[in-house]
Amino acid sequence: MESLVNPHVLQITPYKPGKPVEDLQREFNLKKIVKLASNENMLPIPELVRKAIDEELSQVHLYPDSDNHYLRQRLAEYNGLQLDNVIVGAGSVEIIHMLIRTFLKSGEKVLSSEKTFPLYKIVTTEIAGESAYVEAPMNRDLCFDLQAIAAKIDPQTKIIFITNPNNPTGTFIHAQPIRDFIERVPSDKIVVLDNAYQEYIDNPDDYVNGLDEIRQKKNVVVLRTFSKIYGLAGLRVGYALAKPETIAILNRVKAPFNVTRISQRAALASLESEDYKNESVRMNRANKAKLFSQLQSLGLRVIPSQTNFLLFFPKMDVAELNLRLLKEGVIIRPTAGFGIPEGMRVTVGLQEENDFFIAKLQKVLAEIKKQAI
């Protein structure tokens, strides 16, 4: 079979999502399972969005609007840009695919940091082979090091992914270093700001959302998603903002009807649900602070986070700890697949979910400690 396969595909280390609840239920026959593994918003979606989804159900025998026109128009207005600055995808991962397919020519490279979202590497490998992907080191605070990234730029570099705040570390880059970086990057390269967690940052005044850069027609592409703060991970909607020339080219590779009717309607409705968004930010902030100090009280190193998740270091075999947590009904995320084999990432959930996680973690850590004596 392998001889039939595109050799680039054989180089891919597949993306490993958090374990599905259904799988765990089957394996261990558990009564209660809490999944905090994929950085979803655990608050139920607003009534307005639920109603929009219900209404659209009567139309699902018809293809959706391939152009995503109304959603793009609303997103343009929402972000103070024009219709031709916006493209919508089935999740922002679809747009990551489109970007690399569209802009990476033979011999060119994609550049990002180590310890970040694995999709940049997976998609680059699929399209151009593993050697087309270049990683710069992070700094000691587990933050993107823009100096180190700049040092790796060479004539072959084509696309640079900056994840801000970063997944899985939760760390963020201040505004001035990003502005300086964008100024330094030669104009024949594309800087992609992956802002999937932008709504969670503490201080929007110290954050580059990329909109000014797009208005100035720089080679900057901003990626946003409805999967996190808007609570629509299951519907797969993301978008990119960029100058019209970039969007027009991306439209050439966009699959027709790429975003479902229900997803378009739900995304539109969720842009009208500011209360839900504000409540999600408020809840995340409060619950994250509590979870942070609870993890610290268990003697664990935790990384300060500007997102809806926390990276922590259990100082023991992560695979064993993970298995024990799974048996207790807790699904969180070992970060080996992100280049951090000694870490685990937990999503900030509802208070009751976080309490369940902490109680089980405490229990499992005590058992492991007892066994070691």
Ligand X SMILES: Cc1ncc(COP(=O)(O)O)c(C=O)c1O
Element (H, E) at 296: helix 274-297
**Residue 144 CB neighbours (<10 A):** 27
- Both tokens of 264, joined, read 């378009």
Minimum CB–partner distance for residue 116 and ligand X (Å): 7
| Total interface residues for ligand X by CB under 6 A | 13
For ligand X, the closer of residues 28 and 78 by Cβ is 78
Residues composing the chain: 373
Minimum CB–partner distance for residue 215 and ligand X (Å): 23
Q: Strands of 67-204 (E only): list them.
A: 86-89, 109-113, 133-136, 157-163, 190-194
Could you say whether residue 349 binds ligand X (CB under 6 A)? no
Cis peptide before 7 (omega within 30 of 0): no
Phi, psi of 368, rounded to the nearest 5 degrees? -65, -40
Closest CA to 193 of 117, 121, 132: 117
Could you say whether residue 170 binds ligand X (CB under 6 A)? no
* Region binding ligand X by CB under 6 A among candidate stretches 86-94, 101-109, 135-143, 244-252: 86-94
Site for ligand X in 29-48 (CB under 6 A): 39
* Region binding ligand X by CB under 6 A among candidate stretches 54-62, 91-99, 123-131, 198-206: 91-99
* Region binding ligand X by CB under 6 A among candidate stretches 44-52, 152-160, 169-177, 225-233: 225-233
Cβ proximity of 81 and 215 under 8 Å: yes
Minimum CB–partner distance for residue 317 and ligand X (Å): 26
Closest CA to 348 of 45, 33, 37: 37
Could you say whether residue 238 binds ligand X (CB under 6 A)? yes
Which residue from 110, 123, 143, 196 is in contact with ligand X, where contact means CB under 6 A?
A: 196
Could you say whether residue 163 binds ligand X (CB under 6 A)? yes
Whose CB is nearest to ligand X? 91
Cβ proximity of 165 and 132 under 8 Å: no
Angle between helices 244-253 and 92-103 (to 10 degrees): 90
Could you say whether residue 93 binds ligand X (CB under 6 A)? yes
For ligand X, the closer of residues 178 and 364 by Cβ is 178
For ligand X, the closer of residues 68 and 92 by Cβ is 92
Could you say whether residue 171 binds ligand X (CB under 6 A)? no
Cis peptide before 165 (omega within 30 of 0): yes
Contacting residues toward ligand X, per CB under 6 A? 39, 91-93, 117, 163, 167, 194, 196, 225, 227, 233, 238
